[in-house]
Amino acid sequence: MKQDVAKVPGPWAGLSVKLITAIALVILLIEIAVFLPSLANYRAGWLEDRLRVGGVAVRVFDAVPDVMDLPAEITDPLLEAAGAIAIVYRREGQTDLIALQAVSMPETSHLADLRDPNPLALIGAALDTLVFGGQRTLRIVGSPPGAGDSVVEVLMPESPLRADLITYARNIVMVSIVIAAVTAMVIYVLAESLLIGPIKRLTASMLAFRQSPENGTLILVPEPGRRDELGVLERTVAETQAELFAMLRQRRHLADLGLAVSKINHDLRNMLTSAQLLSDQVANLDDPQVQKLAPRLVTTLDKAIAFAQTVLDYGRQQTSPPRPQPVDLRALGMEAAVGAGLVGHTTIAFANQVPDDLVVSVDPDHLARVLVNLFNNAREALEAAGPAIAGPEVRYRADAGEGMVTLLVGDNGPGLPPRARENLFIAFEGSAKAGGTGLGLPIARELVEANGGAIALREGETGTVFAITLPLPGAG
């Protein structure tokens, strides 16, 4: 399946658009939350103004002994100034009514009681007027300033109130939109310079570097003087890119060098093989001096050819994935000892102390290669020590417990030198013998780890002991 290549998002899918949209929506929601109480206060103030004008008219009428006897030429202008159809004045158990002569009294009216200061009720009444009002008659009830305990009711059409509310709401909406747009733009500019811009730069740099990590000019240059979290992130990304760039260059150089060494090594092996054939012919000459030097020449050429072949094998090595299957560890150890030349050895004893019924699930070929390498190392160490070791022996035993089994391969030889201990599993560095490649143990570690195990040198033992830890069948 082809993997999608990450790329910088388009202008409508980036953080900038999402940020400015979110800011504008939040500001609009805040404006709506402020708009409703403001609308209710505007309606209440409008009604109080009409009630106050009605109270002034009532005080004028209150100076007249009999309000009902006033002519329409006097009452109608006062009512029209208040925008009212009629005014009802209740005081001390007495009720007076002043109404326009040319207008008939409505049968029903919509109550607007200003004596109830409940904010939710005021908001609900304002919305009711704005949505459903316009054709009704309002009955404004309250006590205007200077009226004491008297109650004044003003009857008037609702349409002027609704028209003023619509104008007020439209103005508030327009102002809210302008405020939201300006605020969102200011916040966006600040966020773009302080947050979104650096994030875009980081994203573009990382995507470009991913496409061409060998291009050093694509390494991010951190913004100087920035000490916040984004500044730390920029410097961290730049350092990581620089490390990756150096690592890739080093690996490419090592790969090129390895290829060159492989080619040189291949030609060298061919030349050494030809020299070995000539040395075989020289060894057959009757010259005593030749007979004395020929074995040393043959041995040296054999070692050189073996070294060249080992390096070539390591460079070409492509270990297949492990194919685990039940393996009898005792039988596998015996086969590996035969392959390493321990079984039947004239001076070195081989002790196979692994129980007969110990079975693990592992790739038998991989484990056999590991055991043969360890057995060979032990045999060569004991052979090099010679008579200095009394009763030379290679031991192969196992300890099982807690879902794991530990195979112990050891000898009673002189042990590893310090340099070999420090570089045991480093290719070309951990050889304990002169002329060795140091590739055996690194290969052994790769094979053991590929099968889910681990290999290490067991400290505090006589001679040299390696421990191979493998999971038992059924272990979690």
Q: What is the pLDDT of residues 134-149, one digit of tens each?
A: 788 888 888 877 666 7
Q: What is the DSSP letter of 419?
A: H
- Using a pLDDT cut of 90, give the percent of the chain over it: 12
Is the CA virtual torsion 378, 383, 385, 387 positive or negative?
Answer: positive
Average pLDDT of span 27-51 = 85
Q: How far apart are the C-alpha atoms of 446 and 92, rounded to whole Å?
A: 108
Higher-pLDDT residue of 271 and 218 is 218
What is the Cα–Cα distance from 47 to 403, expressed in whole angstroms?
A: 87
Query: How far is it, in rounded angstroms, from Cα 423 to Cα 409?
Result: 19
What is the residue extent of each domain of the chain? 15-181, 243-316, 325-471
Please say whether the beta carbons of 265 and 437 come within 8 A.
no
The answer, yes or no, to whether residue 304 has pLDDT greater than 70, is: no
For the purposes of burial, counting CB atoms within 10 Å of the CB of 410, is it exposed (0-12), middle (13-18) or buried (19 or more)? buried
Name the residue type at position 228.
Answer: D
User: Considering all CA atoms of the chain, what is the largest pairwise distance in Å, rounded to the nearest integer?
Assistant: 165
- The average pLDDT across 52-63 equals 72
The mean pLDDT value for 456-475 works out to 83
Cα-flanking dihedrals φ and ψ of residue 15, to 5°?
-65, -30
3-state SS, residue 86: strand
Please tell me the predicted confidence (pLDDT) of residue 1.
40
Reported for 315-322, long-range contacts at CB under 8 A and 24+ positions apart, including other chains, are: 315/258, 315/261, 315/262, 317/443, 319/366, 319/446, 319/447, 319/450, 321/450, 322/362, 322/363, 322/366, 322/450, 322/451
Sequential DSSP letters for 334-398: HHHHHHTT-TT-SS-EEEE---TT-EEEE-HHHHHHHHHHHHHHHHHHHHHHGGGSSS-EEEEEE
Q: Return the ∠ at Cα 383 (arms to 381 and 388), rounded to 5°.
A: 90
Angle between helices 72-82 and 15-62 in degrees, nearest 10: 160
pLDDT-derived band at 286 (thresholds 50, 70, 90) equals: low
Residue 195 CA to residue 200 CA, distance in Å, equals: 9
Question: Quick one: pLDDT at residue 118?
Answer: 86
Neighbouring CB atoms inside 10 A of 125's CB total 21
Which of 25-29, 65-69, 455-459 has maximum average pLDDT?
Answer: 455-459
Query: What is the CATH code of the structural domain delimited by 325-471?
Result: 3.30.565.10
CA atoms within 13 A on the CB side of 68: 3
Q: What is the mean pLDDT of the chain?
A: 78
- Which of the pair, 300 or 213, is modelled with greater confidence? 213
At 66-96, the pLDDT tens digits run 555 566 666 677 777 777 888 887 877 777 7
pTM beyond 0.85: the answer is no
Phi-psi label, residue 281: left if phi above 0, alpha if psi -120 to 50, beta otherwise:
alpha
| Alpha-carbon span 340 to 379, nearest angstrom | 8
**pLDDT(355) > 70:** yes
Q: What is the pLDDT of residues 391-446, one digit of tens each?
A: 899 999 998 888 889 999 999 988 887 777 777 777 655 455 554 556 778 888 88
With contact defined as beta carbons under 8 Å apart, do 144 and 43 qualify?
A: no
> Does the CA dihedral 289-291-292-297 come out positive or negative?
positive
